[in-house]
């Protein structure tokens, strides 16, 4: 490398201070606030971009990135990046999608899914709000126990395998739907339609692809067991959100726990239909994509990805 390179970073590095040191050793590091406008403004003279899933790297930002050669994101999902625009420019993309050895050490998202499941089944957010108002109304927030219920897990990969074990620990009957054979004791492998019709709770753990986009359609909701609960910690676009709202409003879907929604990059998230619904209904629990946001997983992912970016730069730039 004859000239010192420049890395633009929109990732908060406070939880992984080692990351800053790694990047600064090989390049000038510019850290900015994670907003689309700031990204587009600053990316023009950068050779590398280190950004998280909360900021979209869209075609406009990529077009402004005259010198950009590599993008690194410390996340498994990459739907916040316009990958077609990167390919057209020949810009490399580094992510955690296939870093299985590292990802197997991260249990945060599976734990978040289970927390949302319990929150929905036991109506914990609504009960908490009542107590904060001084309303001690025990039986008004009667929930349902998990024991003897049927848990359906869609996608029995890294996270799905964790969730089926949680279900077994809670004495649930467990169904799994996956294109690969499931060889886990106590888990019955079934097709998608059978899982929909038999499950009391469904937890989604598939990647967003062309085949899974809109997987939970109006038709799929129509096949679900009346009064079922849906949990999604994968990606919002896997669910037809209009159909989900219809199911929640009609009562066919008893509750939903979502850590992801389609359009979570909106400037005013309060205008999102699901958020508006959740403001006045207690059968929808939404968290702001915090599934993987634990001290351990954040520090591990960001440090790992910084090392991966450094290695790429040293070999290729």
Residue with tokens 């006045």: 280
From residue 276, give the alpha-carbon distance in Å to each of 54, 113, 271, 281, 284.
21, 22, 6, 9, 10
Q: What is the C-alpha radius of gyration for the chain, rounded to an integer number of angstroms?
A: 21
Other beta carbons within 10 angstroms of residue 302's beta carbon come to 26
Angstrom distance (rounded) from CA 17 to CA 63:
31
- Out of 205, 272, 289, 302, the active site residue is 289
- Out of 123, 205, 235, 262, the active site residue is 235
- Out of 111, 123, 205, 264, the active site residue is 264
Q: What are phi and psi of 154, to 5 degrees?
A: -95, 110
Contact criterion met (CB below 8 Å) for 177 and 189: yes
Angstrom distance (rounded) from CA 206 to CA 217:
15
Whether 289 is catalytic: yes
Angstrom distance (rounded) from CA 112 to CA 109:
5
Q: Mind telling me the catalytic residues?
A: 235, 264, 289
């Amino acid at each position: 490398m004859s000239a010192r390179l420049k890395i633009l970073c929109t990732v908060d590095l406070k939880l992984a201070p080692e990351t800053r040191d790694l990047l600064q050793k090989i390049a000038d590091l510019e850290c900015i606030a994670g907003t689309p406008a700031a990204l587009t403004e600053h990316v023009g003279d950068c050779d590398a971009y280190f950004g998280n899933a909360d900021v979209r790297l869209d075609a406009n930002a990529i077009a402004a990135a005259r010198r950009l050669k590599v993008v690194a994101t410390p996340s498994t999902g990459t739907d916040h990046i316009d990958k077609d625009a990167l390919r057209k420019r020949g810009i490399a993309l580094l992510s955690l999608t296939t870093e299985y050895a590292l990802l197997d050490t991260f249990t945060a998202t599976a734990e978040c899914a289970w927390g949302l499941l319990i929150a929905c089944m036991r109506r914990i957010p609504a009960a908490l709000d009542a107590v904060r108002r001084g309303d001690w109304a025990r039986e008004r927030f009667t929930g349902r126990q998990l024991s003897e219920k049927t848990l359906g897990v869609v996608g029995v990969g890294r996270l799905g395998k964790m969730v089926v074990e949680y279900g077994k620990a809670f004495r649930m009957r467990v169904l799994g739907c996956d294109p690969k054979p499931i060889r886990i004791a106590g888990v019955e492998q079934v097709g998608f339609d059978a899982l929909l019709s038999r499950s009391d709770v469904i937890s989604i753990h598939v990647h967003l692809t062309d085949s899974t986009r809109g997987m939970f359609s109006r038709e799929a909701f129509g096949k679900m067991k009346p009064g079922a609960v849906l949990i999604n910690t994968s990606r919002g676009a896997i669910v037809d959100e209009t159909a989900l709202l219809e199911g929640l409003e009609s009562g066919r879907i008893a509750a939903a726990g979502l850590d992801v929604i389609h359009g979570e990059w909106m400037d005013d998230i309060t205008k999102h239909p699901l958020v508006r619904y959740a403001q006045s209904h207690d059968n929808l629990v939404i968290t702001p994509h915090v599934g993987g946001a634990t001290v351990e997983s954040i520090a591990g992912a960001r440090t790992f990805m910084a090392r991966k970016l450094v290695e790429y730069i040293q070999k290729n730039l």
